[in-house]
A and B are shown apart, each in its own frame.
Chain A
Amino acid sequence: KQEVTQIPAALSVPEGENLVLNCSFTDSAIYNLQWFRQDPGKGLTSLLLIQSSQREQTSGRLNASLDKSSGRSTLYIAASQPGDSATYLCAVLTSGTYKYIFGTGTRLKVLA
């Protein structure tokens, strides 16, 4: 059974720092992995999607990498800003299923 873990659960950093959020999964037979952002009390916003055949995806200051064999993905945020404060979730779609399995998220606070 696929399990997705995100560590740490919470993170506080000063503005301007580069930071890395981690996502690990137990079954490496994945179809894709998606990173989301969630602001308090709101829905999820898709940030990046990585197919199983890809190693990384980039969008602006965000870069997501995927290492299927080790069951890990990282989300790199460059030059963090207070507006990046949110909860970041990763979700994995295991091959042969329709269900995304979500991690419980990392709550990020960027201090001005």
Chain B
Amino acid sequence: DVKVTQSSRYLVKRTGEKVFLECVQDMDHENMFWYRQDPGLGLRLIYFSYDVKMKEKGDIPEGYSVSREKKERFSLILESASTNQTSMYLCAIKGQATDTQYFGPGTRLTVL
């Protein structure tokens, strides 16, 4: 079974805090994605990584950065959290030899 884990299910932070969201996979897949999901807007891609230390901006990268130092781990960083970053954050993985995306359970982040 594919396993994608995210560091927290629920997180509450204050405006201006630095926030780290972690995603870990056990499938040795090359591609990892960070999305945010908001009612009425669907899933929007924040960042994508296709290899260690490689990253590409998605549709809404502003206010976010990412880190991929090891193949199995992809971190999303909110440098200075703002209330409009309150959202559900979803990590996904995809192998080069497979087209199926697998998702983690999500992190519900609230910024007060």
Using a CB–CB cutoff of 8 Å, the interface residues on chain A facing chain B are: 31-32, 34, 36, 41-46, 49, 51, 89, 91, 93, 98-100, 102-105
Majority SS of interface residues in chain A? Answer: strand
Residues B45 and A43 in contact, CB atoms below 8 Å apart: no
**Given A99-B48, A103-B42, A105-B42: A45 and B99 within 8 A (CB)?**
no
In addition to A43-B104, A43-B106, A99-B45, 8 A-B residue pairs with Cβ atoms within 8 Å of each other are A32-B99, A41-B108, A42-B106, A49-B100, A98-B31, A99-B48, A100-B45, A100-B101
B residues within 8 A CB of A103?
42
Residues B103 and A98 in contact, CB atoms below 8 Å apart: no
In the complex, A51 Cα to B103 Cα: how many Å?
19
The tally of CB-CB contacts under 8 A between chains A and B is 51
Smallest Cβ-Cβ distance to B42: which chain A residue? A104
Band of interface residues on B: 20 to 34
Residues B40 and A104 in contact, CB atoms below 8 Å apart: yes
Of A34, A46, A100, most buried by chain B (CB within 10 Å of CB) is A100
A residues within 8 A CB of B95?
none
